[in-house]
Chains A and B, each alone.
Chain A
Amino acid sequence: MVGAITRTPLQNDDTILLPERIGDLTGLDAYGTGGELLAIFLAAFLIGNLMLAMTGVAGPWAKRKITAAFTDRIAVNRLGPAGILIIVADSVRLLSKELIIPENADRPAYDLAPIVIASSALLGFAVIPMGSGIHLADPEVGLAYVFAVAGIASIGLVMAGYASSNKYSMLGGLRAVAQNVAYEIPLVVTGMSVVIFAGSLQMSTIVEAQAATFDLGIVSIPAWYALVNPFAFVLFLVANFAEVGRNPFDTPEAPTEIVAGYQTEYSSVYFVLIYLGEFLHIFLGGAIIATIFLGGPAGPGPAELGIVWFLIKIWAVFLLTQWLRSAVPRVRIDQLIEIGWKGLLVLSFANLVLTAVIVGLIA
């Protein structure tokens, strides 16, 4: 069945990226290197703001509405249709809060942590092919790059936890880093089993390799890696939830144990930035899952609809995180470490070796 794997070249240069499209559309190409740089800047600006807008919808509005639906409540409904204008009201409210900095805070680190957390997540979206030509950069090392920049957030969490000079923050920061390092390896090793199929780390090549279909008599299903290797898909989902610190793995900020973990002492715009960074990480996790397991922007209809399918896929992952938040209890820190090192790590290596052996036997 897996015989339908198509071999693709390691480096794929046919993709037309967003900077080029913008350069063509606006005629900036005619102005030499400066025009090209401006086109690249416009593309980066567009991607950054698209992600910011999604976080804006998710944080103050969608999250409340979804949780309310699970617990049979109504949630925000006063401002605008279905309360959607709460996004504007909340942004103004949060940005105009007084910034209270704890007296023993370790200043440069305390101020830098929110910036590190927020911008590291945004960096990852550079290599994600979002369909409809929205794809900023396509380096050969795409998948390794996205894992690398998503990992930077751990540093921000430790900085926030240590610099706040608060015992809850300290414990939260320690828990966050213990969790991130425990689940980073299963995440990357499971991602590697996809690389074995695709034969490349380049995101566009990984998406293209999933374009084939299997014919199962009556129906033909797409060769998405979630369907080719469902075991890897489940492992990756679990490791991803731990990596972004969502239920059942939200131990670092467990409100019933350590107040809010590493973000206990953060208020005003700093709190907004940490919150923003967390949501960006959920969406980055969703984007990685969509790209390497769910065919990226693939879907029925013309190729121009790519961005729609892509957004549907990452919002589906977001909905899943909110579902788990309402339905699944939190694991304890000792269970968390044991699940990571004794369970997921062993399973992910088993998955890698089995994938390699099966691919080797078929080839």
Chain B
Amino acid sequence: MARLRPKNEQSTLICVGYESPNVTEMNDWIAIGMLALVGLSIPLGMMVVSYLIRPSVPETSKRATYESGEIPTGGTRIRFNIQYYMVALLFVVFDIETVLLFPWAVVYQDALASPEYGLLEALGPMLLFVAILMIGLAWAWRTGAVQWAQTRTQAASDTDRQ
């Protein structure tokens, strides 16, 4: 293993800086790729085994779409609640935000420990960033983007919500 994974002489990193891609990382990703290979071959292997031992009795009626025993009506590309779209849109914003917060979380303690940065410099920008997003969430909340949309009849009865 010595070739693919040499001992790293540099044992302490003060802050995240760009490091030339070293061979240690390489070996980790080879192992992960190998697990991906195993993870793909296990389901495929099960499919092959099942293909070899399962019966096949083709019959058109059994392939009909399941609708609790009724004869299926209409297509499946139905209209659905707009809310599913709203939350997906909100997710895109917040997901990118979490990605941007990760590097900050990693270097936060090192920044506090170093004499150049005080608490305000290390924490302030992140607080501002989260505050801006929280204003966005408050606005989404106010306009009803995270409130489940209801039809008039549903809102009137308030019991049969879907």
- A115-B65 in contact (CB<8A): no
- A10-B13 in contact (CB<8A): yes
Flag B14-34 by CB within 8 Å of A: 1 or 0 each. Answer: 001000000011011111101
Kindly identify, within residues 66 to 80 of chain B, every residue whose CB is under 8 Å from any CB belonging to chain A.
66-68, 76, 78, 80
- B87-A337 in contact (CB<8A): yes
- A136-B31 in contact (CB<8A): yes
Tally of A interface residues using CB under 8 Å: 102
Q: Give chain A's interface secondary structure class.
A: helix
Given A44-B31, A138-B28, A349-B134, are A363 and B83 also a contact pair (CB < 8 Å)? no
The total of Cβ contacts below 8 Å across the A-B interface reads: 260
- A137-B1 in contact (CB<8A): no
- B34-A361 in contact (CB<8A): no
- A13-B8 in contact (CB<8A): yes
Q: How far is the CA of A43 from the CA of B105 in the complex (A)?
A: 32
- A170-B78 in contact (CB<8A): yes
Tally of B interface residues using CB under 8 Å: 84
- B3-A45 in contact (CB<8A): no
- B146-A341 in contact (CB<8A): yes
Task: Report if A132 contacts B (CB, 8 A).
Answer: no
Contact partners of A319 in chain B: CB under 8 A: none
Task: Report if A181 contacts B (CB, 8 A).
Answer: yes
Q: How far is the CA of A331 from the CA of B65 in the complex (A)?
A: 28
Task: Report if B148 contacts A (CB, 8 A).
Answer: yes
Given A48-B38, A360-B122, are A19 and B65 also a contact pair (CB < 8 Å)? no
Task: Report if A192 contacts B (CB, 8 A).
Answer: yes
Flag A43-57 by CB within 8 Å of B: 1 or 0 each. Answer: 111011000100000
Q: How far is the CA of A99 from the CA of B57 in the complex (A)?
A: 9
- B44-A337 in contact (CB<8A): no
Contact partners of B137 in chain A: CB under 8 A: 341, 345-346
- B98-A181 in contact (CB<8A): no
Flag A113-138 by CB within 8 Å of B: 1 or 0 each. Answer: 01100111011011100000000111
Contact partners of A45 in chain B: CB under 8 A: 38
A-binding residues in B (CB < 8 A): 1, 3-5, 7-8, 11-13, 16, 24-25, 27-32, 34-40, 42-44, 46-47, 49-51, 53-57, 60, 62-68, 76, 78, 80-81, 83-84, 87-88, 90-91, 94-95, 98, 101-102, 105-110, 112-113, 119, 122-123, 126-127, 130, 134, 137, 140-141, 146-148, 161-162
Further 10 A-B residue pairs, CB within 8 A, beyond A341-B146, A346-B134: A9-B12, A20-B5, A95-B46, A100-B62, A137-B31, A185-B98, A193-B105, A268-B50, A269-B49, A360-B119
